[in-house]
A and B are shown apart, each in its own frame.
Chain A
Amino acid sequence: MNRHLISAADLSRDDALLVLDTAAELAQIGGRSIKKLPTLRGRTVVNLFFEDSTRTRISFEAAAKRLSADVINFSAKGSSVSKGESLKDTALTLQAMGADGVVIRHHASGAPLTLTQWVEGSVINAGDGTHEHPTQALLDAYTMRERLGRLEGLRVTIVGDVLHSRVARSNVALLHTLGAEVTLVAPPTLLPVAVGSWPCEIDYALDAVLPKTDVVMMLRVQRERMSAAFFPSAREYSRRYGLDRDRLGRMPEHAIVMHPGPMNRGMEIAAEVADSPRSTIVDQVGNGVSVRMAVLYLLLGGASPAIGGDQREGEL
């Protein structure tokens, strides 16, 4: 793996486990009264957000700050970008400012990879179009392992708009690498045409899959997909693919419910399910900070890139 984190598929099993183990260590400082480590002191992390995403941005911001990095938030709205500045010129500007790490959220699939040719620092994909969101997958894997004790052989069902979901793509890749068994459940309109080549199972019916599920991950479904005829109505979607109390009851006792947020309560997930003890949605948010700390630490912390290298450098 190179010095960037663009795709969950770029992570080897060892890379991924190193991130999760590092996150577990770093999580311990979240419980301290002073939640700060000096590791990235003097390093600059730029949060380059071309798409609004307060939750992801503040998660990365908190992660970088807990590692003592200097954080610059660059939002496309009201900036030079809205005046027509190209991605390249924005990148060259950041480069000139000496960014050691660039966390990028972009509406265009592939933009983080394209960015790597113009900046010398590490590029971390914080969600690109309908492509990938690798730190989300890492925090999801972290949460599953924390709740259920393992990832190998875990049966994970991902439900919803797979076609447009960067969360689904990253999760399928990472969970496959980590030995989990993934099943995608969606109306056929919301699956890519060649999804059969992905390393997972496909089903169109949720009820049949739930009893054989350890983890169910509900994806956000945007209501505007209705107008493009992906499904007839929000109610029909909810009836066929929404997770309500009855469906929760069909899952094994130990099974957990995940959602990357933001949720459409009453659409893909019923409020009582979202708020149930089996929901990990709040845990996911907290774990997100630890996992992003681990990623920043491993990519920026050493004299050479730590992930994929022979050894870890720097001290926790």
Chain B
Amino acid sequence: MTHLIKGVRITGDEPTDVLIKDGLIAETGRGLDAEGAEVLDADGLIALPGLVDLHTHLREPGREDAETVATGTAAAALGGFTAVHAMANTEPVADTAGVVEQVWRLGAEAGHCDVRPVGAVTVGLAGERLAELGAMAESVAAVRVFSDDGMCVSDVLLMRRALEYVKAFDGVVAQHAQEPRLTEGAQMNEGEVSGRLGLTGWPAVAEEAIIARDCLLAAHVGSRLHICHVSTAGSVEILRWAKSKGWQVTAEVTPHHLLLTDDLVEGYDPIYKVNPPLRTAEDVTALREALAEGIIDAVATDHAPHSVEDKETEWPAAAMGMLGLETALAVVQRTMVDTGLLDWAGVADRMAYRPAAIGRVAGHGHPLRPGAPASLTLYDPAAPVTVDPANLASKSGNTPYRGMTLPGRVVATLLRGVPTVSEGKLQ
């Protein structure tokens, strides 16, 4: 199948045509013509390399009532993603080659985007002994990112060993930075709002202390370290310092931490309950600036579907997490592009190039040039959409953006030349 995309602005550059053949970008330039090609008029659209998410919860196996690999990857494609990392906190936990291969196979069968399973660092996410990281790395799933996400690898010796061990297969440990003793029973950001609402606080220092410790560990053993969903201004300062030393530390931020703040908790609506919690406006500003500067490398969604009954309840009993895949790019446009902090080339870098590099994702995260895989997304930055959970492909509806108007929408997504989304619809 041959596709000719007419008049598209690659990462925001001047309009050009893109010819796609055999899954690759064959040619770019003005006035291209190709017999028999399916022509796509992309006037006004931005082309970005297929987005790569480092942090997705697909819930399968175990919680297929909330999401499946098929529905979650459909949501990903609709959000412009061509590869997602499926977090390990499934039931059973993705801590063996068998489970990661199952998730990988389900992704391949669904075909909406590439699924890169994340392997658990410790058996059952229990934080006691290392899972068989090598077996997961050597499996068909070729795991390179290891994380106990949802749980922090808080045992400092275990963390050191994990960081060292994954060097053998170029892996990276993605740390959910949450000091457990400082966050027992934690419900929301510790600050003015938590004190008033009588909800147990999740202090910024519980994140920052672990990040500082792990940066020092990574430096000591010469390993790669990735920090999941950075949420505080203090974390940014520690990362800035670690990067200034030349240490191999990378970090991600979620779209919701770039936009939402802890005062939203005032109505006790669990739609805003997430871990790490929504922070203050000062934190949001610091995170945006850090992403613009590159101190934070990537945007990652932490897409966390939850069933209605896990959210429609009193706040402390509700599950933590919110949807993110289908709204991520529009939230990034609103918080980073429309504010002038990042241009579209910057968005491509933070949402495709760098996450692909961190996850060692082959075939993704390449500039849209002749010879590169034709995995890309076409985005209309001037098509405001009001978010309606009923219109989302995710099996769950726990989006914090319900009723909010976001500035743009994904028009099409191609995975190796094959449309997974066309005219805003799943193919």
A-to-B contact residues, CB < 8 Å? 86-88, 106-111, 113-114, 128-132, 166, 169, 192-195, 197-198
Contact = CB atoms under 8 A, between A and B. Distances in A.
Contacts of B312: 86, 88
A110 B314 CA distance: 7
B192 A129 contact: no
16 contacts: A86-B312, A108-B317, A109-B187, A109-B197, A110-B268, A114-B313, A129-B198, A131-B198, A132-B198, A169-B196, A192-B195, A193-B203, A194-B190, A194-B191, A195-B195, A198-B195
A113 B187 CA distance: 17
B201 A109 contact: no
Contact of A131 (B197, B201, B267, B313): B197
A160 to B, nearest CB: 15
A108 B316 contact: yes
B108 interface: no
Contacts of B199: 109-110, 129-131
A106 B198 contact: no
A286 to B, nearest CB: 27
Given A86-B309, A193-B203, A109 B268 contact: yes
A102 B250 CA distance: 51
B192 A197 contact: yes
A192 B198 CA distance: 9
A111 B203 contact: no
A143 B185 CA distance: 35
B192 A113 contact: no
B268 A113 contact: yes
Contact of A194 (B195, B267, B313, B317): B195
Q: How large is the interface on B (under 10, 10 to 19, 20 to 34, 35 or more residues)?
A: 20 to 34
Nearest to B269: A114
A192 B194 contact: yes
A111 B197 CA distance: 11
Interface of B: 187, 190-192, 194-201, 203, 267-268, 309, 312-317
Nearest to B270: A114
Given A87-B314, A108-B317, A193-B201, A113 B195 contact: no
Q: Which 7 A-B pairs have the closest CB atoms?
A: A110-B268, A192-B195, A131-B198, A130-B198, A194-B192, A109-B198, A108-B314
Nearest to A196: B192
A105 to B, nearest CB: 13
Contacts of A87: 313-314, 317
Contacts of B197: 109-110, 131
A111 B314 contact: yes
Contact of B315 (A88, A108, A192, A195): A108
A188 to B, nearest CB: 13
A198 B203 CA distance: 19
Contacts of B187: 109
A86 B311 CA distance: 11
Given A108-B314, A114-B314, A166 B198 contact: yes
A113 B192 CA distance: 19
Output the residue of B196, B267, B314 with the most chain A CB within 10 A.
Answer: B314
Nearest to A113: B268
Output the residue of B195, B200, B312 with the most chain A CB within 10 A.
Answer: B195
Contacts of A128: 198
Nearest to B191: A194
Given A109-B197, A109-B199, A129 B190 contact: no
B195 A86 contact: no
Given A109-B187, A110-B197, A131-B199, 12 more contacts: A86-B312, A87-B313, A87-B317, A108-B314, A108-B315, A109-B197, A110-B315, A111-B268, A111-B314, A114-B313, A193-B203, A198-B195
A40 to B, nearest CB: 28
B315 A114 contact: yes
Contacts of A111: 268, 314-315
A165 to B, nearest CB: 9
A224 to B, nearest CB: 13
Output the residue of B194, B267, B309, B315 with the most chain A CB within 10 A.
Answer: B315
A127 B191 CA distance: 22
B1 to A, nearest CB: 49
A106 B197 CA distance: 14
B316 A109 contact: yes
A193 to B, nearest CB: 6
Nearest to A195: B195
Contacts of A197: 192, 195
